[in-house]
Amino acid sequence: MLDYIRQSLDRIAAKDRRRVLRPAQLAGGGRIMRDGRELLDFSSNDYLGLARHPLLAERAADYARRLGAGAGASRLITGTSAEHEAVEARIAAFKGSEAALVMASGWQANAGIIPALANAAPNTAIFADELVHNSIHAGCRGAKADVHFYRHNDASDLQRLLNDHASKYDARIIITESVFSMDGDRADLAALNAIARKHDALLYVDEAHATGVLGKGGAGLTADNPGADIVMGTFSKAMGGFGAYVACSDLMRDYLINMCAGLIFSTATPPALLGAMDAALDIVPDMDAERAHLAELGEQLREGLNGMGFDTLGSTSQIVPLVVGPESDALALGQHLIERGIAALPIRPPTVPKGTSRIRLALRSTLESADVTKALEAIAEWKAA
């Protein structure tokens, strides 16, 4: 077995894809410390700069001091505290849903909920956007269901698949992200809602990258386009902490408590994380100025990149892909930027489709317009070389 493991790593290395962990530390003002250097940070998902916000850190510390470091058990045993239920009530209010559940992480939520849903019916089909996150793929793989992928953000392709296949199944689930993690574009939730109703399908929306950033009060795109049956999101990105939520009906919450293995067989969220969630829910709804600033930075960045002839795909959010194509170009540009004090990391297959290697520029509201200008200048310099 160990020989196979070594060979596997060697094969990755031969493709120049072997990755290593490198310690870094978020700093103030949209900066990050790595290898003893301060870099302008276009690589973190701390979109609103809350990961180091004193209110979150203090409330996390307060909850830990009062309630301890761990929850002690899974939710169904003795791990559910009054604080879990209070945070879940606040999430439901924030998302405008009947109920909510806290889960360990976004990855675990998708990997656990999708099989639980699919396995409720004897013969289920999942229809998922082809660019959904790895955790959704993991959920689909774990589900006893046929999985059909539709072309990215293509409602007519989804229609076609449903017309061809939907009637063969007892139940159908449509899965999308509201803001796509690698392309930064948005799903047409109104169209997906209509299609889901027409084909009697459940609509499942992942708001990992929209939560805190988009929609009324930062409540995500489903706040402006209600109708999805189940919405998940994370506290690990714009919300500054860690952990995930599911916003849904009472019925769905009850079902997941009984059937979602990722919830049932995992220790409940620890107090400190609940404290950070509670603090984020206090301040995020009032961060319209930061959201507007983030949107302006996005416009500035896309305008600059498009002006240089780079494709930014359909990005309309704080995630801006700078597509260069070949993996070697993405690596070279990433290195060039690091040398100029800018952390903006290359993303390559299999994370993104072949031929679309890119620098994924993730904006943070703690960056200034001058920082974006500096990044654009460094990119222009690389392009001209």
Cα 350 to Cα 357: distance, rounded to the nearest angstrom: 10
Beta strands in 116-190, from DSSP E residues, in sequence order:
124-129, 145-150, 171-177
Catalytic site residue 181? yes
The footprint of ligand PLP (CB under 6 A) covers 105-107, 110, 133, 135, 177, 181, 206, 208, 234, 236, 244
Cα 53 to Cα 28: distance, rounded to the nearest angstrom: 10
Catalytic site residue 237? yes
Catalytic residue among 41, 43, 44, 45: 45
Catalytic site residue 290? no
**Between 83 and 207, CB nearer to ligand PLP:** 207
Q: Considering the complex, what minimum distance in angstroms separates the CB of residue 170 from ligand PLP?
A: 27
Q: Considering the complex, what minimum distance in angstroms separates the CB of residue 1 from ligand PLP?
A: 28
Catalytic residue among 53, 148, 199, 209: 209
Catalytic site residue 133? yes
Point out the residue whose Cβ comes nearest to ligand PLP: 106
Handedness of CA 48, 54, 57, 62 (dihedral sign): negative
Terminal-to-terminal C-alpha distance of the chain: 46
Q: Considering the complex, what minimum distance in angstroms separates the CB of residue 277 from ligand PLP?
A: 12
**Between 192 and 379, CB nearer to ligand PLP:** 192
**Between 105 and 124, CB nearer to ligand PLP:** 105
Catalytic residue among 41, 88, 129, 177: 177
Q: Considering the complex, what minimum distance in angstroms separates the CB of residue 212 from ligand PLP?
A: 13
DSSP 8-state class, residue 268: P
Q: Considering the complex, what minimum distance in angstroms separates the CB of residue 232 from ligand PLP?
A: 8
- Do residues 47 and 365 touch, judged by C-beta distance below 8 A? yes
Q: What does the buried/exposed string (b/e) look like for 256-274 if buried means 16 or more CB atoms within 10 Å of the residue's CB?
A: beebbebbbebebbbbbbb
Catalytic site residue 45? yes
Cα 179 to Cα 294: distance, rounded to the nearest angstrom: 15
Catalytic residue positions, numbered: 45, 133, 177, 181, 206, 209, 237
